[in-house]
Amino acid sequence: MLLFSVAPKHYRKILFVLKHLRKDVSLATHYIKTQGHLIGPKIEIWELDLGKSHAERMF
């Protein structure tokens, strides 16, 4: 998130994460829940499910 904060304002800021489940909780969901206070404005978090070839915006 620190690198996103120093990127130029006109850039689109995307954190892309592969879907990984542990006890029915995905890595992206866990990150948003525990580190959500670090996610700055206009930062997108996307999760990619390789098995389904599908990406979903999580935040």
Question: Tens digits of per-residue pLDDT, 31-43?
Answer: 999 999 999 889 9
Minimal CA–CA distance to 18: which of 46, 48, 57?
48
Domain assignment present for residue 44? The answer is yes
Domain assignment present for residue 29? The answer is yes
pLDDT tens by residue, the chain, 59 residues = 889 989 999 999 999 999 989 999 999 999 999 999 999 889 999 999 998 999 999 99
pTM summary value: 0.81
Distances 11 to 2, 17, 42, 49, 57 between C-alpha atoms, Å: 15, 19, 10, 25, 17
Domain assignment present for residue 15? The answer is yes
* Residues spanned by the domain of 48: 10-57
Domain assignment present for residue 14? The answer is yes
Please state the domain count of the chain. Answer: 1
Domain assignment present for residue 38? The answer is yes
